[in-house]
Amino acid sequence: MATEQPILRIEGLRKNYGAVAALQGVDIDIQRGEVLGLIGPNGSGKSTLFDCCTGLQKSDAGRVLLNGVDITGWPMNRIAREGRFLRSFQKTVVFPTLDSYENLVLAGQMFAFPSVLSTFWIGPAARRRIAALRERAAELIEVSGLSRVAHLPAGHMSGGQQKLLQFASMLMPKPELILLDEPLAGINPVLIEKVIDCITHANGTLGITFVVIEHNTDVLMSLSHRVVVLHQGAKLADDTPEAVVCNPQVVEAYLGG
Ligand code: ADP
Ligand code: MG
């Protein structure tokens, strides 16, 4: 695995906000197929790292390569357009009047048919793609445990269920890489299990690579193949979950107390 080209290479990334050095030259290689956990104290630069990789913020120095292609400085819509590299946001956005199945198929179609023209003429290839999207939507409703509420307009579901639906929507275009910023924040333990099921399914069955920022360390450690620890905008550790929890510097900076 180590000799393969990383799906995402982060090289010497720096970002300052005025006098705050949010990222001080961070290097991370994300390997295809892994679930990489990203932890660190509040303000250590985790979200900024996502922002700079996905074009939401411009980095001051360093490079980001997606499958070997330098995407540094690309605007966010260009990076997300093809649906190959996606990120989640804290705010939940679903189509409130559509049910779960409709939300999912629509999310898939937005990426499968990016041009307006393509919606006027649906040929055999497009029909096959739509059939595949419908199949995936049904499968994700099952995996996410939303079957019982899937007939409801999404706006009538609980906040946690909407969050789960939004997460499932991200899986519809079958992206290669997804960055998740605190996907478990503010949801109850039952739904936490479902989000974990979805991530495991997406990683194992759909082959999607994940980078997950999460404060629930127990969950993160059990989910991740590898964990990177950020501290004051720099990488403090990059190791297996087992090694990271025993690392004295990590315990002092983040896990202790
Ligand atoms: P984390 O996600 O690890 O909690 P952040 O990346 O959000 O950390 O923040 C890193 C540092 O950068 C913090 O000191 C934070 O206050 C600052 N910061 C983050 N985003 C902005 C912004 N848009 N404008 C100014 N400062 C910011
Ligand atoms: Mg953050």
Rounded to the nearest angstrom, the distance between the alpha carbon of 21 and the centre of ligand 1 is 9
Q: Under 8 Å CB-to-CB from 246, ≥6 apart: which residues?
A: none
- Asked whether residue 79 falls in the same domain as residue 189, the answer is yes
At which of 173, 192, 223 does a domain end?
A: 173
For the chain, the domain total comes to 2
> For residue 9, what pLDDT is reported?
97
**CA of 43, nearest ligand number:** 1
- Asked whether residue 161 falls in the same domain as residue 197, the answer is no
- Asked whether residue 154 falls in the same domain as residue 192, the answer is no
- Asked whether residue 79 falls in the same domain as residue 188, the answer is yes
Cβ atoms of 167 and 135 within 8 Å: the answer is no
Rounded to the nearest angstrom, the distance between the alpha carbon of 128 and the centre of ligand 2 is 40
Cβ atoms of 187 and 195 within 8 Å: the answer is yes
- Asked whether residue 169 falls in the same domain as residue 56, the answer is no
> For residue 88, what pLDDT is reported?
82
Q: Which of 134, 186, 128 is nearest to 162 (CA)?
A: 186
Q: Is the CB of 89 under 6 A from ligand 1?
A: no
- Asked whether residue 79 falls in the same domain as residue 179, the answer is yes
Q: How many CA atoms lie within 13 A of 111 on its CB side?
A: 22
- Asked whether residue 97 falls in the same domain as residue 146, the answer is yes
CA distances from 49 to 9, 22, 168 (A): 12, 9, 23
Q: Is the CB of 144 under 6 A from ligand 1?
A: no
Residue 212 backbone phi and psi in degrees, to 5: -125, 120
**CA of 16, nearest ligand number:** 1
> For residue 214, what pLDDT is reported?
94
CA distances from 238 to 38, 58, 250 (A): 9, 24, 10
- Asked whether residue 17 falls in the same domain as residue 78, the answer is yes
> For residue 47, what pLDDT is reported?
96
Atom of ligand 1 nearest to the CA of 40: 3
At which of 173, 207, 234 does a domain end?
A: 173
Rounded to the nearest angstrom, the distance between the alpha carbon of 252 and the centre of ligand 2 is 20
- Asked whether residue 152 falls in the same domain as residue 25, the answer is no
- Asked whether residue 223 falls in the same domain as residue 105, the answer is no
> For residue 110, what pLDDT is reported?
79
The 10s digit of each residue's pLDDT in 81-131 is 766 888 887 677 899 999 999 999 998 887 766 555 555 667 788 788 888
> For residue 230, what pLDDT is reported?
97
- Asked whether residue 99 falls in the same domain as residue 165, the answer is yes
Q: Is the CB of 22 under 6 A from ligand 1?
A: yes
pLDDT tens digits, the chain, 257 residues: what are they? 456 899 999 999 999 999 999 999 999 999 999 999 999 999 999 999 999 999 999 999 999 999 999 999 999 888 887 668 888 876 778 999 999 999 999 988 877 665 555 556 677 887 888 889 999 999 999 999 999 999 999 999 998 899 899 999 999 988 999 999 998 888 888 889 888 999 999 999 999 999 999 999 999 999 999 999 999 999 999 999 999 999 999 999 988 75
- CATH number of the domain at 58, please: 3.40.50.300
Domain span including residue 148: 92-173
Separation between Cα atoms, residue 185 and residue 181, nearest integer Å:
9
SS3 track for 49-115: HHHHHCCCCCCCEEEEEECCEECCCCCHHHHHCCCCEEECCCCCCCCCCCEHHHHHHHHHHHHHCCC
- Asked whether residue 67 falls in the same domain as residue 130, the answer is no
At which of 117, 142, 173 does a domain end?
A: 173
Q: For the whole model, what pTM was predicted?
A: 0.90
Q: Which of 8, 24, 6, 200 is nearest to 87 (CA)?
A: 8
Residue minimizing CA distance to atom 14 of ligand 1: 43
Q: Is the CB of 38 under 6 A from ligand 1?
A: no
Q: Is the CB of 13 under 6 A from ligand 1?
A: no
